[in-house]
Chains A and B, each alone.
Chain A
Amino acid sequence: AQSVTQLGSHVSVSEGALVLLRCNYSSSVPPYLFWYVQYPNQGLQLLLKYTSAATLVKGINGFEAEFKKSETSFHLTKPSAHMSDAAEYFCAVSDKNTGFQKLVFGTGTRLLVSP
């Protein structure tokens, strides 16, 4: 069964610094991969997704992620953090091979941005 591991339950950066949130997946074949963001007391918003097209995926709000099969990784980056990026970030995976899908989430990483 597929799964994802997010390294670091909390990541702290200064405003303007690089954001790097790590996600590694476990799957027998390259899966579909997603990053979602959750602001306090809100729902889940899709940042970007990998569905076997380009390995470098650009998303909303200046975020991007690169699919690396050799490292089974899908890390999320943003060149320059903004205070408004402070939120909970979830990496998620779904299996290509099954007819009906379910999204399996990592445990989340809270991004803290200091001025």
Chain B
Amino acid sequence: DTAVSQTPKYLVTQMGNDKSIKCEQNLGHDTMYWYKQDSKKFLKIMFSYNNKELIINETVPNRFSPKSPDKAHLNLHINSLELGDSAVYFCASSQLPGHTNYGYTFGSGTRLTVV
């Protein structure tokens, strides 16, 4: 029944490694997002995809590459991990504005720790 599911929930890795986070939504939403929450709890958008097309890329380093194989999935691959990448990454989905159920649904987050 989970609406937006992310895996893994926790990820501990060494600097320089490459890792991926997966996200799936079963709400039939058209748009999916990646948000980053830093150590001070500040939430900032990283990417947005609408029906597999990249819409928003908020000046995120090239080491971060999102991929959307279909509109229900949005994955995040991170190359050459750095200490500063340690954060909680949230996936979210939404309908377009004007839809009766317009709103954003978030996954439970992936806590990434780079050591």
Q: For the side of the interface on A, what is the size category? A: 20 to 34
On B, residues with C-beta under 8 Å from A are: 31, 33, 35, 40-45, 48, 50, 55-56, 90, 92, 94, 96-97, 102-109, 111
Instruction: Determine the chain B residues whose CB is within 8 A of the CB of A27 once the complex forms.
Output: none
Whether B103 lies near A102 (C-beta < 8 A) is no
Whether B108 lies near A102 (C-beta < 8 A) is no
CA distance A43 to B87 in the complex (A): 13
**Given A100-B48, A105-B43; A49-B90 close (CB under 8 Å):** no
CA distance A105 to B45 in the complex (A): 9
CA distance A51 to B98 in the complex (A): 9
Which one of B31, B41, B103, B106 lies within 8 Å of A49 (CB-CB)? B103
Distance from A75 Cβ to chain B, minimum over Cβ atoms (Å): 20
CA distance A41 to B109 in the complex (A): 9
Q: Which residues A59-115 have CB closer than 8 A to chain B?
A: 88, 90, 92, 94, 96, 99-105, 107-108
